[in-house]
Amino acid sequence: MPNMDPKKCPMPSQDPNVRNKNFEEVALGYTAEMAVNEAQRCLQCKNHPCRSGCPVDIDIPGFIAEVAKGDFEAAYQVIAKSSALPAVCGRVCPQENQCEGKCIRGIKGEPVGIGRLERFVADWHRENVHTPAAKPEPNGHKVAVIGAGPSGLTVAGDLAKMGYKVTIYEALHVAGGVLMYGIPEFRLPKDIVQKEVDGLKELGVDIECNMVIGKVLTIDELMNDYGFEAVYIASGAGLPRFMGIPGESLKGVYSANEYLTRVNLMKAYKPDSHTPIMKSKAVAVVGGGNVAMDAARCAKRLGAENVYIVYRRGMAELPARKEEVEHAEEEGIIFKTLTNPVEVLGDEDGWVKGMTCVEMELGEPDASGRRRPIVKEGSEFELEVDTMIMALGTSPNPLIRSTTPGLDADKHGCIITNGPDGLTSRPFVYAGGDAVTGAATVILAMGAGKEAAKAIDEAIKAKNS
């Protein structure tokens, strides 16, 4: 008999006023008892709509049935068939728009907490099972992957399981991509990312850090001189965008990428870190996506008294996940929506001392379907801040497309692919993740990696048959 509680079992989490001063994980995770209870809310319905919402097609009812029985390792094995990074996805996927958004329990109440269960299962496995994954039989074929972020790790994991010898080339000094430099510790502990990366190494994947492909080696060299039969480009989103308003070069203006990289990758939040970061009193984060929420919550934890999210549309239009917005609000982040900065103000020494903003109102929907923000006449006001963080998205990194002849990119610089299989304009060169889509989510990047792994396998088999 299913558990008919209309609400999800709540996620135990750190008190907002405690956690906004530390970098430890916010959500503490289910206990075994909570997990079994929550799993019993699943009706095991025939059509399993949840599954169609998962970009990597996890057998969701299958793993939940095992959790309900209390067989957590069996549940893990079900997930592991489809996902290389369950502990990551259980934490950072936008489940409300994916699996949980399609759950029929969600029609009359709250959907099954699929993300929370996935996280529980992955964490349980990591803490309780220590047998290394079996190394697959090598098939004698080599594939190179550029970028050790979610997309690259996924394609590498899937191909390694099929017997391919995979080498991942990573530009930074650690593997993980945005999971390491972007998403903060309190949302995704770096130990967990490291464990997932170690899992891939156990499968026989080689990870070479400090390798900027396009500079130290080109794709043509990888294919001609190093014997890789296919290459998957997952080099990520690239350079931050700025607004182009006066004062953006003042001291105290960061891109979210820089701010988060300093905090997460370079550990600037630790007192003994060698990496400097502003000791801010009042911070304005410009933008409304998940990256903006992450930056704001980091700034608060670093000791800023007032942290503002400044966004030109309304609360309803914030592109960030609802959960992230709620967490930010609980932690005391102040939302200045329908507000747009027009100038950054500096003091005589060139430090940010505030910004001039205008109020906005929403007009007719624009090409993106969202209502276009319009400036309210005469609404200028000043907001006193000493730090500004621009979280306005990115434009693709030019290093690979500018050094790979015949690799087509669109007018924004995103690599053009054939469709979901990720084939580019060059034979045996595939691409996926943010390098193709522009800044998007971890799970979409993983989904692209999954599709590409299948396509690469088929292409190499076809060539050799």
Q: Which residues contact another protein by CB under 8 A?
A: 171-173, 181, 209-212, 215-217, 236, 238-240, 242, 244, 248-252, 254-255, 257-258, 261-262, 265-267, 273-276, 350, 397-399
- Decide whether 70 or 398 has the Cβ nearer to another protein: 398
- Decide whether 101 or 351 has the Cβ nearer to another protein: 351
Query: For the chain, how big is the Rg over CA atoms in Å?
Result: 23
Hey, what are 84's tokens? Answer: 């290389």
Strand partners, 235: none
Hey, what are 39's tokens? Answer: 């799993």
Q: How far is CA 378 from the centre of its chain?
A: 39
Question: What residues contact residue 135 under an 8 Å CB cut-off, 6+ apart?
Answer: 202, 203, 204
Tell me the closest approach of the beta carbon of residue 178 to another protein, in angstroms. 10
- Decide whether 69 or 251 has the Cβ nearer to another protein: 251
Q: Give the CA dihedral 365, 367, 369, 374, nearest 10 degrees.
A: -40
Tell me the closest approach of the beta carbon of residue 350 to another protein, in angstroms. 4
- Decide whether 265 or 459 has the Cβ nearer to another protein: 265
Angle of helix 32-39 relative to helix 60-69, nearest 10 degrees, comes to 130
- Decide whether 363 or 398 has the Cβ nearer to another protein: 398
- Decide whether 135 or 215 has the Cβ nearer to another protein: 215
Q: How far apart are CA 361 and CA 272, in angstroms?
A: 45
Instruction: Quickly count: other Cβ atoms within 10 Å of residue 464's Cβ.
Output: 10
Tell me the closest approach of the beta carbon of residue 274 to another protein, in angstroms. 5
> Do the strands 165-169 and 206-208 form a parallel or antiparallel pair, or are they unpaired?
parallel
- Decide whether 257 or 441 has the Cβ nearer to another protein: 257
Q: How far apart are CA 309 and CA 336, in angstroms?
A: 6
Alpha carbon separation from 399 to 212, 225, 258 (Å, rounded): 9, 20, 19
> Do the strands 387-390 and 253-255 form a parallel or antiparallel pair, or are they unpaired?
parallel
Amino acid occupying residue 137: E
Q: How far apart are CA 412 and CA 382, in angstroms?
A: 34
Nearest CA-CA partner of 166 in 177, 152, 151: 152
- Burial of 126-139, coded b for 16+ CB within 10 Å and e otherwise, reads beeeeeeeeeeeee
CA atoms within 13 A on the CB side of 342: 13
SS3 81: coil
Strand partners, 308: 284, 334
